[in-house]
Structure 1
Amino acid sequence: MPTIVMAKQERAVEPILKKKAFAFLEKLSSDDTLPGLHIEPIVNSADPRVRTGRVDDGYRAVLFKIADKDAVTYVFHGIWPHDDAIREAERTTLRVNPISGIAEIRRVEVPAAETAAATGAAPEPSVTSPTPSPMAEVPAKDSLLTAYGLDVADLTGIGLDEDFAQRAMSVADEEAVLALAGEAPADWQGLALIDLSTGMSVEEVTERLSLGQAVDTTGSEEEQLIRGLQHPAGQLSFAWIEDNEELRRVIEDTDFAAWRIFLHPLQKQYVVRDYRGPAKVTGGAGTGKTVVALHRARRLALQAGAPRVLLTTFTRNLADALQRDMRVLDPDVEITSGLGERGLRIAGIDQVAHAVLKDAGQDVGRAAEEVLGVATVDVTRRTGPEAWSEAISAVGADVPENLRSPAFFAAEYTMVVLPRRITSAEKYFRAPRRGRGVALNRGQRAAVWAVIERYRASARAHGTLDFAEVATLAAAHLELSGRHLFDHVLVDEGQDLTPAHWQLLRALVPPGRNDLFIAEDSHQRIYGQKVTLSHFGIETRGRSRRLTLNYRTTQQNLRWAMGILDGADYRDLEDEAEEHDEYRSARSGPVPQVLPCESLSAELDQAAALVGSWLSEEEPPAPETVAILVRDRFQRDRVVAGLAERGVEVRAVDAESVKSGAPVVMTMHRAKGTEFARVLLFGVREGWIPSSMKEYNTSEADWDDAMLRERSLLYVAATRARDVLAVSWSGQQSTLLRGAES
């Protein structure tokens, strides 16, 4: 049975052709001699391995047949109308780069058939890069690469084509780099150029793309091609198909195939590497952290012995998205629903905490006594958001006025009281409060503790617990019982988790090989306070790596979004400074549109006109890939109603997943983990984002941290846009936009 290798598709394929392509390739992988396939060589083609096959009466597939001993491999290049497919097959080759050893699909300068007709013989084809766009001559002193001490020999020395390297030496700015990278002879060559243009050394690029290994020139050309297709950097462009289900996924889910199937060698390292303890991967929005977590979870779940694997994240919406993506990545992975079962469990962290307490039954009383001082077993109902306000009103008269805020008490309880299992005033008086930003003397601590006691007493009377209490109780129960429910735990969006969550995660899995794997980006922390992993027995120093290449959004959109973060002090889960100037994108597009309006009515008019223009383009995006993102639900509902009045039908999205058929309106918080072709950030005015910050006037540190979350929220919203980003406001623009517009 032939093996199928899919080359990354550069051309969009109509849905009806996708179905026909799958049927064609399914038959091919079963038996390539079937007469209906019409697998035929091309006379005088540039590559004797090239074949075409019949997809239907009007379309043919272009493939390369590699016959190595008893094995046959077909590299699927794409589908074209009949005559175009013949021309593509005549002029296209599959070859091994002699310097890097990576397989590359290339085109000859002229169609081989035309050359043969003119000369009477088939000449050796001259392989070239795609037809270059004209570029202005740039003096050597102004060249980006020259400024970093590079020359053509450095580039060709790692395998870049000489003509591509010559042109690379003339690029003077970021836009020119992206434009040239888009014309690279192979994906890996474009990414190497992008890395080098940011100041990365040749040695660093060599390591990132796994170019350091010696090229194996032994064996037949077919054997060398197979090795080139299997090269880590070669898998940026080629995916080996294991079965028909994987074939269907790669063909039918274009977006997923574009950057989730074809892993960067650096991503692949984090998927396959084994760690002697907790490990962490960081990276900006769109760099593929979640993709790494998904692939790694799949790898661990498929190990011998069927280990117990948990993939978790902060919200249920994100967990649902992870489960959908896992089913796309590999529907054969067994996804379990119970605790301690062999296989892969995907769930939100609070779901896991609730399941632990439900499983504990009456035994939870011991943990409750340790955490709350009372052996309660009421664990099913959640404390309402008004509880802190009621406790402050009842007994908070002696609390300093600037601290009489639900935000202060919720943070104090979550960051100090629960992690330390404090059950009395005496313990609270002695407790360190690092990072809380406001000092409390003994009298002030007594006043604060009185409110905390009232909060707990009220919750007991109503038979409720808050989410942080549930997670802390779950962690304490597992610690007391000595049980570990999983062999491996993977965490996505780790920056949003609370101390209680980290205590639970540490208790869920025994310390050891591949115990915890964490994906995080401190720039996307939109919930909770900063935490440091080492405070919870999770040490990742020395096992922490960073992804910097954005696959989702364009460089123009990324630059705008990064401007929002400028000047702010972000720190990661190891309490190390988190910079953002090294992030870059492999894609280019239009500059974000900035749309100031005089009034809310005018802003709604502008939004209606913009969305209408997007949907009426000659090649419009699918309606559900257009999103309007707002600060809160009140604003979301106002926008939905306002656009309906203006004849533009949109769909409000809350907990449910995005459905096809209409543009969507959702809050910026809800948009976390999503991506859209076109995004309008609506209502980015002062007073809406940042929102009213009165609750955070307790201390300068609390204020600064709340502002970090507001910046992060706008950054998250802006990086949901793949191609086009627009930003509107009425009245005074948000102060957070100053960095983005500079």
Structure 2
Amino acid sequence: MGPMTDPDELLAGLDREQREVARALHGPVCVLAGAGTGKTRAITHRIAYGAATGAFQPNQVLAVTFTARAAGEMRGRLRGLGAAAVQARTFHSAALRQLQYFWPQTVGGPAPRILESKIPLVAEAASACRIKTDRAALRDLASEIEWCKSTQTAPEDYDSAVAKAQRVPPREAAEVSRVYAAYEEHKRDRGFIDFEDVLLLTIGVLDSRPDVADQVRAQYRHFVVDEYQDVNPLQQRLLEQWLGQRDSLCVVGDASQTIYSFTGATPEYLLGFPDRYKDATVIRLVRDYRSTPQVVGVANALLAAIPRDTPAGRRAARARLELVAQRHAGPPVGYTEYPDEAAEAEGVAESIKKLIDRGARPAEIAVLFRINAQSEVYEQALADRGVPYVVRGVERFFDRPEVRQAVLLLRGAARSGGTSDSAAAGGAAGAGEETDDGLAATVRAVLSGSGWSPKAPAGSGRAREQWESLAALAALAEEYAVGHPRAGLADFVRELEERAAVQHAPVVDGVTLASLHSAKGLEWDAVHLVGLTEGLLPITYAETDEQIEEERRLLYVGVTRARETLQLSWALARAPGGRPSRRPSRFLDSLREAKAAMTEAGAGGVVRRGSGRGPQEQGKSKRTGPVRCRVCGKALIEAVDRKLGRCADCPSDLDQALFQRLRDWRLEQAAEQSVPAYVVFTDATLTAIAEIRPADRAGLAKIPGVGTAKLDRYADQVLTILTGSAPAPDEESQDPEGGADGEDIGASA
């Protein structure tokens, strides 16, 4: 919509506190906004209201946030509110734009090239210092260098700086200092700058050239900073240069969501804002519109349990916002204890599959964990059940080779005009798609040349990841066509180029697997928080009071990502049959204590223990023990070994002819159901069937991967293939372990 004649119409859909934010147009403003309280809505309406009333000139407003996705979302909202001329950028993109513009007149020549990754130069620097490193060590060193530069710590000051910050260096402080110094030298020699240099150089230009600073300050007179709790000293210094002596600044944040201190971020600038600006307007947003009362109750209980007997605890308690749920009641929060990690992954995957079977979209479900290494077991468990997923944070969407290639093909088709709408529709129809002569059909036709097809490939490897990327582009084309009915391929390519410039990736329709850090700023209908044990959350190396409180904040961020369904789980052992030596996270204690009160108020859940299955699998029999190799008797750890029922390197008595007959049957079933073959049975399950050759339904039910649903659906056909004749009736038709469809039932050898 365009600019409104009546500015007050902009405020009609806001609550009392949000309206107060929108009307606070002059002087310094500090908005303390809890999770799910509509902070982006409040500040974008503030900007639009200021423009509509004449308080702001839209092109003189700079809105700054921390991720390209958040900046893109803010720009979209501002366009919808009639304030498209407002600049919404990340700190780095805003600084880079200014640096590139002023570099020729302040330094001369083209601006330096930006280093896309520190890792290669860190590796060279470590080698020059004769320090041996592996890939993990290089990542740690690169992160430490980033912290140094964000906190403006020079190589020679590193030792004292980490001691003052109570920071645990990844290596000996002297070694880090040497690598840091060598990295800076190698970078200068090659004419590169890194992302922190972009801020440093912009600050330097503004500081040393008053004429340039005057130009920037004449352009931007009003500033809004979102997620202000994540500002580091370098970004704060740049913000102060932009402001000069003015105070037309609105900051928004929640100190309880400060989770990036390892990069130098600190909530002190947010908490100290009223002290720096004595006339500041401070507004609190606490009405939670995102989550159900059950989820909000857990979030509040988590922060209410902050110990106040330490400086870190007292500061955290002072920053706490008590959320007030605005949604109707939802399902109870689930707490599940599992015997081992494999059982936890299988239980979570089975719970997710049931949500999807009941109509939930995979893209509205997430599994969140503390470290990325926890992802693999959940990837396998979801793949075993044919559930699509996407791992967040491993590689930026528009940097993926298949996406770059697809965009190149789309650009070429748009420029040449060689793929007309009608031809594209015919191509799509040839692949079994609709003949709608539209943009979406054109895009699908072009993507088919990159490997896209209407059906996803089987498995969970690279081929599946590539297909998911192309499918996301196809889905984005459909979405874009709905919003832009007259758009052609060239328009869509421009949309992709704009998104790529700010890394605004489309949503992939799969279950999200993500670390708690990478989940910040996102939300889902259903969230599974997994691995909640001491040593993982809080993480082992969190030792100081402040570090422990940051781990609590990390869990708080995870909890508040859920709109409706929240499941928390933990495992007592790493491997099946392992010693149950792990303890549930200390943060769960406060939630257990608050559980009874929340239940009485209609906002709690019930702790479930020892199931070894998903939160909805109560009432079925427990595991009888670890899965053991039927050849050597060892407990099986790897998922594929448990499916086979033996160690991968133990002798196999596989009947190859029988195995092939089973594969042929599986292909027929998959074709009839229009599903990937592995959804019927995985290769590992078919191998186990062909090796064990069960004689009846009870024997078939004992094979991992054959649960009740699959037993009911396929038992007669499989047994016919195994025996060469129709099976005899078998009264023991139910899985004796009570396994759900496709799960590892955990029967002992």
Q: What's the TM-score, normalizing by structure 1?
A: 0.52
Residues 128-527 of structure 1 aligned to structure 2 (within 5 Å)? 262-276=13-27, 278-302=28-52, 304=54, 305-327=57-79, 329-330=80-81, 332-334=82-84, 343-363=85-105, 365=107, 378-382=112-116, 384-385=118-119, 410-417=146-153, 436-437=165-166, 452-479=180-207, 480=209, 481-482=212-213, 483-484=216-217, 485-512=219-246, 515-527=248-260
Distance in 1 separating the partners of 2:174 and 2:322: 47
Q: Contact 1:605–1:646 (CA<8 Å) still a contact in 2?
A: no
Residue of 280, 296, 299 corresponding to 1:558: 296
The Cα shift of 1:377 comes to 5.2
- Given the alignment of the two structures, is residue 723 of structure 1 paired with residue 564 of structure 2, yes or no? yes
SS of the residue aligned with 1:722?
strand
Residues 641-720 of structure 1 aligned to structure 2 (within 5 Å)? 641-654=380-393, 655=396, 657=505, 659=507, 661-691=509-539, 693=541, 703-720=544-561
1:202-232 per-position Cα deviation (integer Å, ceiling 9, x unaligned): xxxxxxxxxxxxxxxxxxxxxxxxxxxx9xx
**What residue in structure 1 maps to residue 464 of structure 2?**
none
Distance in 2 separating the partners of 1:717 and 1:433: 28
The Cα shift of 1:552 comes to 1.4
The Cα shift of 1:640 comes to 3.0
Distance in 2 separating the partners of 1:554 and 1:734: 24
Distance in 1 separating the partners of 2:318 and 2:121: 35
The Cα shift of 1:714 comes to 1.8
The Cα shift of 1:392 comes to 6.8
Q: Contact 1:499–1:531 (CA<8 Å) still a contact in 2?
A: no
Distance in 1 separating the partners of 2:315 and 2:306: 17
Distance in 2 separating the partners of 1:726 and 1:437: 34
**What residue in structure 2 maps to residue 59 of structure 1?**
none
Distance in 2 separating the partners of 1:496 and 1:279: 17
Q: Contact 1:284–1:521 (CA<8 Å) still a contact in 2?
A: yes
Q: Which amino acid aligns with 1:738?
A: D
SS of the residue aligned with 1:665?
strand
Residues 30-179 of structure 1 aligned to structure 2 (within 5 Å)? none
Distance in 2 separating the partners of 1:301 and 1:434: 48
Distance in 2 separating the partners of 1:310 and 1:487: 8
1:674-707 per-position Cα deviation (integer Å, ceiling 9, x unaligned): 22222112333344434453xx7xxx6xx44443
The Cα shift of 1:353 comes to 1.9
Give the 3 Å change call, closer, same or farther, for CA 660–410 of structure 1 in structure 2.
Answer: closer
**What residue in structure 2 maps to residue 630 of structure 1?**
369
The Cα shift of 1:281 comes to 0.7
Give the 3 Å change call, closer, same or farther, for CA 600–575 of structure 1 in structure 2.
Answer: closer
The Cα shift of 1:735 comes to 3.6
Give the 3 Å change call, closer, same or farther, for CA 452–678 of structure 1 in structure 2.
Answer: closer
The Cα shift of 1:282 comes to 0.8
Q: Contact 2:532–2:568 (CA<8 Å) still a contact in 1?
A: yes
**What residue in structure 2 maps to residue 586 of structure 1?**
326
Q: Which amino acid aligns with 1:610?
A: S
Residue of 562, 576, 588 corresponding to 1:737: 588
Q: Contact 2:363–2:507 (CA<8 Å) still a contact in 1?
A: yes
- Structure (1 or 2) with the greater strand fraction: 1
Q: Contact 2:146–2:196 (CA<8 Å) still a contact in 1?
A: no
The Cα shift of 1:394 comes to 5.8
Distance in 1 separating the partners of 2:163 and 2:52: 42
1:543-598 per-position Cα deviation (integer Å, ceiling 9, x unaligned): 233222222112321232344443267999x9896343633323333331012222
**What residue in structure 2 maps to residue 539 of structure 1?**
276
Distance in 1 separating the partners of 2:563 and 2:267: 31
Give the 3 Å change call, closer, same or farther, for CA 453–545 of structure 1 in structure 2.
Answer: same
Give the 3 Å change call, closer, same or farther, for CA 592–454 of structure 1 in structure 2.
Answer: same
Q: Contact 1:286–1:553 (CA<8 Å) still a contact in 2?
A: yes
Unpaired runs of at least 5, structure 1: 1-229, 231-238, 243-259, 335-342, 367-374, 398-403
Q: Which amino acid aligns with 2:66?
A: F
Q: Contact 2:388–2:509 (CA<8 Å) still a contact in 1?
A: no
SS of the residue aligned with 2:567?
strand
Q: How many residues align?
A: 442
Q: Contact 1:491–1:517 (CA<8 Å) still a contact in 2?
A: yes
Q: Which amino acid aligns with 1:559?
A: G
1:105-125 per-position Cα deviation (integer Å, ceiling 9, x unaligned): xxxxxxxxxxxxxxxxxxxxx
Give the 3 Å change call, closer, same or farther, for CA 316–593 of structure 1 in structure 2.
Answer: same
Distance in 2 separating the partners of 1:738 and 1:465: 47
Distance in 1 separating the partners of 2:548 and 2:158: 29
Give the 3 Å change call, closer, same or farther, for CA 602–531 of structure 1 in structure 2.
Answer: closer
Distance in 2 separating the partners of 1:395 and 1:651: 39
What percentage of aligned pairs have identical amino acids?
Answer: 24
SS of the residue aligned with 1:659?
coil
Deviates more, 1:605-614 or 1:634-643: 634-643
**What residue in structure 2 maps to residue 55 of structure 1?**
none
Q: Which amino acid aligns with 2:385?
A: R
Q: Contact 1:318–1:672 (CA<8 Å) still a contact in 2?
A: no
1:21-60 per-position Cα deviation (integer Å, ceiling 9, x unaligned): xxxxxxxxxxxxxxxxxxxxxxxxxxxxxxxxxxxxxxxx
**Which protein, 1 or 2, shows the higher relative CO under an 8 Å CA cutoff with sep ≥ 6?**
2
**What residue in structure 1 maps to residue 470 of structure 2?**
none
Distance in 1 separating the partners of 2:274 and 2:298: 37
SS of the residue aligned with 1:274?
coil
**What residue in structure 2 maps to residue 601 of structure 1?**
342
Distance in 1 separating the partners of 2:588 and 2:187: 42
Q: Contact 1:683–1:730 (CA<8 Å) still a contact in 2?
A: yes
Give the 3 Å change call, closer, same or farther, for CA 303–363 of structure 1 in structure 2.
Answer: farther
Q: Which amino acid aligns with 1:463?
A: G
Distance in 2 separating the partners of 1:608 and 1:429: 45
The Cα shift of 1:240 comes to 8.5
Distance in 2 separating the partners of 1:523 and 1:653: 23
SS of the residue aligned with 2:86?
strand
Give the 3 Å change call, closer, same or farther, for CA 550–413 of structure 1 in structure 2.
Answer: same
Distance in 2 separating the partners of 1:687 and 1:575: 24
The Cα shift of 1:648 comes to 2.4
1:440-485 per-position Cα deviation (integer Å, ceiling 9, x unaligned): 9xxx999986554333212213433332232122122223332324
